[in-house]
Amino acid sequence: MSTEQQNRSPGWLVFDIETIPDGDLLAQVKHPGLTDDPGEAIRRSMEDALSRGRGDSSFVPPTFQKVVAACVIRVRRDYSVEKIVCLDAPQFRQQQVVEQFWKGVCSHAMAPLVSFNGRGFDLPVMELAAYDLGLDISAYWPRRERFKGAHLHLDLQDFFSNQGALRFFTGGLNLLAKRIGLPGKQGTTGEDVLGLVQAGRLDRVNGYCMADTLDTYFVFLRSQRMQGYIKEAQEGELRRDTLRQVADMDPAYPGMSDYLAHFDKA
């Protein structure tokens, strides 16, 4: 990579994805009698997940999830936001979302990724989607090494759980967001995504995904402040600049007005 290319490369790529159970795959693998009724295959799989767990989650395993949204924030080396994007807007087509994600990640091979539980969920799901499509994602592979490639992917769940020493990071990103005055979850949760997709509200799903991506970015900034890379005043200015960018987005994503209103109240 030339010096000019390095200078143009983002400092970090902050991302989040949204998924729903893949009814066709569930029918083929777990419920062969329901190949003509993927919706019922999803319903039964969610019931199975609920009964096998502690009764508080119907989440189907990641290997049976498919991507319906992905948002990325390109962050400059001075920690300022260069671009906020929901992939394949406004069509939000599954294959194009996956292809655009991997094209961006592989085009900026030295830009570290920033996620919350990206190693445990987002990236394995995205890798399987690349597998389905036969995509060449070889430029991403150095980031995949959990310890050797740790400098190329900051998983904030790993960071705050001391690389898994804290076995149950109860509360997740929502907890970290609310501890520092961010909106966190505002009514919509991951369990609502399937219903929104079925209702044709992919715009709403992407608004929800963008809110989670913004929270991830702001939590990332606080993690950098904890380590002495940025100061309190810089963190505050970066937050204000980012919120101004979100307010200027046209068209605005559903849910973003509520996200911004939280900071007005604060």
What domain count does the chain have? 1
Average pLDDT over the chain reads 91
Pairing status of strand 12-21 against strand 113-115 = parallel
pLDDT at residue 109 is higher than 60:
yes
Round to whole Å and give the CA distance between 123 and 121.
Answer: 6
Q: Which domain holds residue 246?
A: 3-265
Round to whole Å and give the CA distance between 9 and 3.
Answer: 10
pLDDT digits (tens, 9 = 90+) for 145-177: 766 667 899 999 999 987 777 777 788 999 999
**Per-residue confidence (pLDDT) for residue 9, from 0 to 100:** 77
Round to whole Å and give the CA distance between 117 and 132.
Answer: 22
Average pLDDT over every residue of 197-226: 97
CATH code (residue 205): 3.30.420.10
pLDDT class for 3, splitting at 50, 70, 90? very low
* Phi, psi (deg, nearest 5) at residue 207: -65, -40
pTM across the whole model: 0.92
Q: Which single residue is written with the structure tokens 């767990």?
A: 53
Alpha carbon 195 to its chain centroid, in Å, reads 19
Take residue 16 and report the two structure tokens written for it.
Answer: 């989040």
pLDDT digits (tens, 9 = 90+) for 54-64: 666 788 999 99
Take residue 62 and report the two structure tokens written for it.
Answer: 């990641």
**Per-residue confidence (pLDDT) for residue 54, from 0 to 100:** 60
pLDDT class for 191, splitting at 50, 70, 90? confident
What residues are paired with 83 via a beta bridge? 74
